[in-house]
């Protein structure tokens, strides 16, 4: 057991050094999203509110709206940063062969990579949080809110990972998987409440989404961070269900993909 | 009795592929009405390899060498036939099996590009569950022998091809495998690097008694490393036997080249051999039966102003070239001479 855990630990360390190998890249990763947020979301919403005759849109005044969006930004950094680029490249370039030879499985390797990425993202999102507090966009929430929010978001990150893993595995069949990923991220952005809070959507749609994973990817954790009441049990249950679904689908796809791979001999 | 490490009986691998015409129309057509074709990459292949042998697996591009290597290492699953490596069926991909083999692919890097080789080695140490002492001992031995001690902490992407290949070898051999599969380990390397790698492989083999299967298009690799050759053509075994026998497969004639200080007029003793002259008739390559080599050499030296002469260093290269352009020769030879296949 100990030797097995050491394999994981060393893989996490290696992935960590890979992620931080390019310092400028790392710096941009920290600062970039915050700047994008400031220049696009902040300016967009301030013009919307300036042009609007009512200072409150569906219960959100300008300051609420900014709070909401700062939190969705932090949530997306913490829970939706991982991209299965390496994974699909491994498949496309036939690097799977190496993993079939090592006494450490492909999924173990990439899951360890994900864990390491998440640790990095905890730093990145914490820095963003501090920047947001420093510039006066939000106030620092209580410790219990921070803990509840971070735990839920990290759990959501696991769902995000299983979904990314799914798109990565499609590289067995598709030449390029980035179109799939962009498509997925657009759908997620809209349905999760990353672009607009879900109150702005028709009620039937919000109702329909309740048991889908989407609201729990931005809207729901944002509400936690904003100190509003949410049904945590429902949130965790829905996400657990979807994690299990995707993990099973991934298992099947991997099996089918491997048959294809070993039959085609890339 | 020597111990069998690899046993292959009637091994066959078929690939199913489909043809697609270019463009959108072709894509749609192939989506709805796909025409598959079956290609036999390897068929009816038999082989037995004993512990500690170094085998050269030769054949032209697309003959099935890499397919065989991939089946041996469990990367791909055979269509039919039996295959055991050290008592394991490779395609089951058991951890105990994986710890006993290594695959080095000259054309594909197994090291992680963005980190120093040492980090990859440390990861492999954990993967293969090596103790710190074993790890350090093997790392020191290999890095010193390959002369890369100073490069262990350099990012892999900054290494030259030769340096990287040495690191690849180290990465694959750290766990001291029983069987090593080397797929074109010297491809693209300069002569010195090629020699270093060969010397390293020989030393490693001597020290550990490892069984090694090597594929290469460089006959110098084969000449230096292998005592036994297995030739594969169109997925079937065309030759299996000692290197020396292979060199003489087309007869025991040797090519001898002479260079003269002046033009040699036609038509004297040398023309009896129907050799290949250069344009100015100042040099010639002739084919001489091995047993007449001394006699002919002496006579030419006496008759003509020879300034240089040599016999071919690698007859195996000539044999391979002939067989690759003219594979029927082998079949004919085999039928006549009853060569092992």
| DSSP letter for each residue of B48-64 | EEETT-EEEEE--TTSS
pLDDT tens, residue by residue, A21-30: 777 877 787 7
Residue B111: phi and psi, rounded to 5, are -85, 155
Secondary structure of B225-271 in HEC code, one letter for each residue = HCCEEEEEECCEEEEEEEHHHHHCCCCCEEEEEEEECCCCCCCCHHH
Residue B122 contacts A where some CB pair is shorter than 8 Å: yes
pLDDT band at B36 (very low <50, low <70, confident <90, very high): confident
**pLDDT, tens digit (0-9, with 9 covering 90-100), for A127-182:** 889 988 998 888 899 999 999 999 999 999 999 999 999 999 988 888 777 888 88
Report phi then psi at A103, rounded to 5. Answer: -80, 45
Q: Which of A14, A103, A104 sits opposite B119 (nearest CB)?
A: A14
Per-residue pLDDT, averaged over B236-265, amounts to: 85
Tell me, yes or no, if B107 comes closer than 8 A to chain A by beta carbon: no
The secondary structure of A148-189 as a DSSP string is HHHHHHHHHHHHHHHHHHHHHHGGGT-S--HHHHHHHHHHHH
pLDDT at B30: 64
A100, closest residue in chain B (CA to CA)? B75
pLDDT at B335: 63
B212: which 2 tokens?
């090694």
Peptide bond connecting A87 to the previous residue in cis, omega within 30 degrees of 0: no
Question: Could B122 and A95 be called an inter-chain contact, meaning their C-beta atoms sit closer than 8 Å?
Answer: no
Chain A residue with Cα closest to B79: A263
Q: Do A7 and B126 touch (CB under 8 A)?
A: yes
Higher pLDDT, B225 or A19: B225
Average pLDDT, rounded, for chain B: 87
- From A114's Cα to the closest Cα of chain B, the distance in A is 16
Task: Tell me: pLDDT of B20 over 70.
Answer: no
ipTM, interface predicted TM-score of the complex: 0.80
Is B281 an 8 Å CB contact of chain A?
no
Q: Which residue has the tokens 């490693």?
A: B204
Lowest mean pLDDT among A29-33, B32-36, B77-81, B124-128: B32-36
Choose from A2, A85, A97, A255 for mutation: most chain B CBs within 10 A: A97
Q: Among B127, B174, B176, B178, pick the best mutation site for testing chain A contact (most A Cβ within 10 A).
A: B127
Q: Hey, are the CB atoms on A103 and B127 less than 8 Å from each other?
A: yes
Considering only the beta carbons, identify the residue of A6, A95, A262 that sits closest to B126: A6
Residue A180 has which token pair? 């799939």
**Closest-CA residue to B51 (of B74, B81, B85, B96):** B85
Q: Quick check: B165 and B221 in contact, CB under 8 A?
A: no
Contacting B residues, span 142-171, partner chain A, CB-CB under 8 Å:
155
The answer, yes or no, to whether residue B266 has pLDDT greater than 90, is: no
* Overall average pLDDT of the A240-250 stretch: 97
d(CA B227, CA A206) in angstroms, rounded, equals: 74
Percent over 70 (pLDDT), chain B = 91
C-beta separation of A52 from A95 below 8 A: no
Intervals of CATH 3.30.70 along chain B:
248-341
Q: Which has the closest alpha carbon to A86: A168, A172, A183, A13? A: A168
Percent of chain B with pLDDT over 90: 45
CATH fold label, B4-243: Rossmann fold (3.40.50)
The reply to whether residue A100 touches residue B110, judged by beta carbons under 8 angstroms, is no
Give the 3-state secondary structure of residue B313: coil
Query: B115 contacts in A (CB within 8 Å)?
Result: 14, 17-18, 21
Report chain A residues touching chain B, CB-CB < 8 A. Answer: 3, 6-7, 9-11, 14, 17-18, 21-22, 94-95, 97-98, 100-104, 261-265
Please, what is the average pLDDT of chain A?
89
Lowest mean pLDDT among B180-189, B209-218, B240-249: B240-249
Work out the pLDDT band at B61, boundaries 50, 70, 90: confident
Average pLDDT over residues A221-236: 95
Using a CB-CB cut-off of 8 Å, the residues of chain B touching A18 are 112, 114-115
- CB pairs < 8 Å spanning A and B: 78
Query: Kindly report the CA angle at B99 between B182 and B144, in degrees rounded to 5?
Result: 60
**Of the candidates B98, B99, B115, which has its C-beta nearest A17's C-beta?**
B115
Q: Which CATH number fits domain B248-341: 3.40.50, 3.30.70, 1.10.10, 3.30.420?
A: 3.30.70
In this predicted structure, what is the pLDDT of residue A203?
92
- The per-residue pLDDT for B281 is 87
The rounded distance, in Å, linking the Cα atoms of A214 and A187 is 9
In the sheet that holds B253-260, the strands lie side by side as: B276-277, B283-289, B253-260, B306-311
Q: Which of B15, B102, B105 sits opposite A265 (nearest CB)?
A: B15
Facing residue for B129 by CB, picked from A3, A17, A101: A3
């Amino acid at each position: 057991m100990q030797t097995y855990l050491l394999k994981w630990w060393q893989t996490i360390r290696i992935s960590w050094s890979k992620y931080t190998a390019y310092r400028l890249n790392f710096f941009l990763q920290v600062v970039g999203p915050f700047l994008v947020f400031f220049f696009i979301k902040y300016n967009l919403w301030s013009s919307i509110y300036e042009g609007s005759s009512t200072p409150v849109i569906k219960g959100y005044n300008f300051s609420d709206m900014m709070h909401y969006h700062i939190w969705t930004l932090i949530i997306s950094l913490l829970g939706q940063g991982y991209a299965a680029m390496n994974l699909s490249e491994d498949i496309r370039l036939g690097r799977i062969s190496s993993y079939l030879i090592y006494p450490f499985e492909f999924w173990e390797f990439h899951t360890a990579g994900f864990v390491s990425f998440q640790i990095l993202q905890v730093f990145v999102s914490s820095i963003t949080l501090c920047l947001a507090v420093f510039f006066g966009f939000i106030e620092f929430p209580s410790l219990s809110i921070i803990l509840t929010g971070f735990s839920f978001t990290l759990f959501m990150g696991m769902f995000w990972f299983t979904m990314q893993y799914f798109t990565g595995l499609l590289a067995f069949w598709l030449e390029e998987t980035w179109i799939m990923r962009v498509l997925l991220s657009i759908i997620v952005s809209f349905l999760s409440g990353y672009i607009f809070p879900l109150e702005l959507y028709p009620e039937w749609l919000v109702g329909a989404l309740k048991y889908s994973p989407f609201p729990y990817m931005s809207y729901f954790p944002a509400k936690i961070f904003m100190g509003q009441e949410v049904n945590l049990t429902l949130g965790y249950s829905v996400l657990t269900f979807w994690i299990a679904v995707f993990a099973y689908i991934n298992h099947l796809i991997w099996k089918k993909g491997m048959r294809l791979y070993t039959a085609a001999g890339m | 009795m020597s111990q069998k490490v690899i046993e292959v009986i009637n091994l066959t691998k078929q690939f199913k592929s489909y043809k697609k015409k270019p463009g959108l129309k072709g894509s749609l057509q192939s989506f709805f009405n796909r025409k598959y074709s079956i290609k036999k990459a390897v068929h009816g292949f038999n082989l037995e390899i004993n512990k500690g042998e170094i085998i050269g697996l030769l054949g032209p591009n697309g003959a099935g060498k890499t397919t065989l290597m991939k089946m041996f290492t469990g990367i791909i699953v055979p269509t039919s036939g039996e295959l055991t490596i050290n008592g394991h069926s490779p395609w089951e991909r058991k951890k105990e099996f994986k710890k006993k083999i290594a695959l080095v692919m000259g054309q594909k890097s197994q090291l992680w590009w963005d980190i120093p080789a040492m980090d990859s080695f440390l990861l492999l140490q954990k993967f293969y569950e090596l103790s710190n002492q074993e790890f350090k001992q093997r790392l020191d031995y290999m890095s010193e022998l390959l002369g890369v001690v100073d490069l262990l902490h350099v990012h892999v992407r900054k290494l030259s091809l030769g340096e990287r290949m040495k690191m690849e070898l180290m990465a694959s051999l750290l766990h001291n495998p029983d069987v090593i599969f080397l797929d074109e380990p010297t491809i693209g390397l300069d002569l010195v690097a090629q020699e270093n790698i060969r010397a390293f492989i020989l030393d490693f083999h001597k020290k550990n008694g490892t069984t090694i299967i090597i594929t290469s298009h460089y006959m110098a690799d084969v000449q230096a490393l292998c005592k036994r050759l297995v030739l594969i053509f169109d997925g079937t075994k065309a030759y299996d036997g000692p290197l020396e026998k292979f060199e003489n497969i087309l007869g025991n004639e040797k090519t001898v080249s002479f260079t003269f200080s002046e033009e040699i007029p036609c038509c004297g003793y040398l023309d009896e051999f129907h050799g290949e002259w250069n344009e100015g008739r100042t040099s010639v390559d002739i084919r001489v039966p091995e047993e007449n080599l001394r006699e002919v050499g002496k006579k030419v030296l006496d008759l003509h102003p020879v300034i240089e002469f040599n016999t071919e260093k690698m007859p195996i290269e000539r044999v391979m070239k002939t067989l690759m352009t003219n594979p029927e020769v082998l079949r004919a030879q085999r039928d006549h001479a009853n060569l092992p296949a």
